[in-house]
């Protein structure tokens, strides 16, 4: 059976930033380059670019010979280990791309191999050509590529480089520019259009740096919060030879509890099934103070709010100061407390003692009258979290929500049990921050900060 080698790479200059991928298909027996693929992707992350290169390379191999065995060689430890099934795919943005890659060819035809970056020069050059083309406002063109020449031929084989076979000339009508082609004269010199730019600023999220690698990730030095404990990484990879944590640009959720309502000082249950109170004068003042603080910080790029009035009002005050629009996310609404809405804790304890005791001891227990259990809220909030992470990768997003959803996001980030909800304080108009990384791990950076109100 014929064997093809796919070498793929992707990069993002900024992570997220201008990104592109490259892929090459090589005949394993001869070392001959059979097809190349590259594309400028716009602004996205390094991991998305790498997975996109993998998908393009597999498609090119399938188009050449759908019955061939394919050996994928990549210098991304993350992609290789995840596609090999040894690491979990936790980040929601990666799962559709991984599923797409698996669907191209039958799984028993494809194997994955990690290689050092020095052995992946051809695909690397293609990815950089695609990013250079994007910088010029163009898409990558095979006629201007010097990637194969710059990489010294087929890096994936020790066989001498031979001429390209007379394979199909037509580019595949997909988003990638995939072209099995003969060597064009335009590529005779490195100065031809599409020559490779320096690799600075590529923004690698490389998972197992090697001594031969020279690219530097433009990331900030992690503090204690960013280390995210080796315990979390252990669930993602084997202990032996495990890759270091992904310390690239995270997606950051700034979690703002709404300002006070008339019910807040009275400590009454106020969920999504009650009267939906608006902010009080104190609550509006709190929102204004937080808006001032966030405007001075200048990092928030998007504002998302619960649909309830107190959150929408808080979000509108902050967004107006930041010059941003507000989008509503139903998954961020507060718990439905059923018959307990509007009552104090003491009143519920007196009227519904058994239901209260069950609610405090079991996450699947519902408030009296068919309210939501903590378990149901956690499922809803986690689904909203995953959707928002996929839609706002690498950005800083203000989420205006309530006590239970915010505590739930923090609890899930920590991997803490449901009873941890009762061990957190969350004041009105307080700020908390959780950062989510490309490898699926999270870092709680701030909890219940009320300094803006002082």
205 pLDDT more than 50:
no
User: What SS3 class is residue 273?
Assistant: coil
Stated pTM of the model: 0.51
Can you give the pLDDT at residue 150? Answer: 61
Angle 400-328-46 from CA coordinates, rounded to 5°: 80
Over residues 220-279, the pLDDT tens digits come to 333 333 333 332 333 333 333 444 555 578 999 999 999 999 999 999 999 998 889 999
What are the beta bridge partners of residue 39? 21
Which is the catalytic residue, given 122, 258, 392, 402? 258
7 flagged as catalytic: no
Q: 1-10, 206-215, 351-360, 420-429: which range is least confident on average?
A: 206-215
Residue 113, pLDDT > 50, answer yes
* Cβ burial, residue 385 (10 Å; 0-12/13-18/19+): buried
Higher per-residue pLDDT: 97 or 27:
27
CA distance 305 to 326: 7
Q: Compute φ and ψ for 8, nearest 5 degrees.
A: -135, 150
Q: From CA 320, how far away is CA 297, in angstroms rounded?
A: 15
CA–CA–CA angle 293, 395, 403 (5° rounding):
60
Question: Half-sphere exposure of 161 toward its Cβ, with a 13 Å CA cutoff?
Answer: 13
Q: What is the pLDDT of residues 392-410, one digit of tens each?
A: 999 999 999 999 999 999 9
> Is residue 287 predicted with pLDDT exceeding 90?
yes
* Greater model confidence, 232 or 350: 350
- The candidate with the shortest Cα–Cα distance to 246, out of 97, 427, 91, 369, is 91
Q: Which of 334, 341, 366, 372 is catalytic?
A: 334
Instruction: Decide which of 301 and 242 is more confident.
Output: 301
Give percent above pLDDT 90 in the chain.
59
**Mean pLDDT computed over every residue of the chain:** 80
The number of C-alpha atoms within 13 Å of 395 and in the hemisphere containing its C-beta is 16
pLDDT tens digits along 159-191: 333 333 333 333 333 334 444 433 333 222 222
Asked if pLDDT for residue 388 goes beyond 90, the answer is yes
Q: Residue 201: pLDDT above 90?
A: no
Residue 379 has pLDDT above 50, yes or no: yes
Q: Is 258 a residue of the active site?
A: yes
């Amino acid at each position: 059976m014929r064997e093809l080698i796919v070498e793929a790479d992707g990069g993002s200059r900024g992570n997220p930033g201008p990104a592109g991928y490259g892929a090459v298909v090589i005949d394993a027996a001869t070392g001959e380059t059979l097809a190349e693929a590259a594309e400028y992707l716009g602004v996205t992350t390094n991991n998305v670019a790498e997975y996109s290169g993998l998908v393009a390379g597999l498609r090119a191999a399938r188009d050449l010979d759908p019955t061939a065995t394919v050996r994928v060689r990549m210098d991304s430890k993350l992609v290789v280990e995840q596609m090999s099934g040894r690491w979990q795919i936790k980040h929601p943005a990666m799962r559709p791309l991984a599923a797409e890659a698996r669907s191209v060819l039958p799984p028993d035809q494809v194997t994955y191999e990690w290689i050092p970056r020095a052995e992946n020069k051809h695909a690397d050059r293609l990815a950089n050509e695609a990013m250079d083309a994007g910088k010029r406002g163009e898409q990558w063109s095979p006629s201007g590529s010097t990637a194969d020449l710059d990489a010294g031929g087929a890096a994936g084989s020790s066989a001498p480089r031979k001429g390209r076979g007379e394979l199909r000339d037509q580019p595949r009508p997909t988003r990638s520019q995939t072209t099995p082609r003969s060597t064009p004269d335009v590529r005779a010199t490195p100065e031809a259009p599409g020559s490779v730019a320096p690799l600075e600023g590529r923004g690698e999220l490389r998972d197992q740096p090697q001594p031969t690698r020279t690219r530097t990730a433009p990331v900030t030095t992690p503090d204690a919060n960013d280390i995210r404990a080796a315990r979390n990484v252990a669930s993602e990879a084997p202990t032996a030879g495990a890759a270091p944590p992904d310390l690239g640009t995270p997606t950051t959720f700034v979690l703002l509890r709404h300002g006070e309502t008339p019910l807040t000082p009275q400590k009454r249950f106020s969920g999504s099934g009650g009267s939906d109170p608006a902010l009080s004068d104190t609550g509006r003042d709190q929102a204004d103070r937080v808006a001032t603080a966030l405007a001075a910080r200048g990092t928030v790029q998007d504002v998302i709010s619960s649909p309830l009035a107190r959150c929408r009002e808080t979000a509108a005050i902050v967004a107006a100061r930041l010059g941003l629009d507000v989008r509503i996310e139903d998954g961020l609404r507060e718990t439905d407390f059923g018959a307990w809405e509007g009552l104090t804790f003491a009143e519920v304890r007196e009227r519904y003692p058994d239901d209260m005791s069950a609610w405090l001891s079991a996450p699947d227990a519902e408030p009296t009258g068919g309210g939501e259990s903590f378990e149901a809220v956690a499922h809803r909030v986690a689904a909203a979290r995953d959707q928002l992470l996929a839609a706002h990768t690498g950005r800083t997003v203000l989420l205006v929500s309530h006590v239970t959803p915010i505590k739930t996001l923090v609890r899930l980030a920590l991997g803490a049990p449901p009873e941890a909800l009762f061990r957190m304080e969350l004041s009105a108009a307080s700020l908390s921050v959780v950062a989510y990384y490309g490898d699926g791990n999270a870092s709680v950076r701030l909890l219940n900060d009320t300094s803006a109100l002082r």
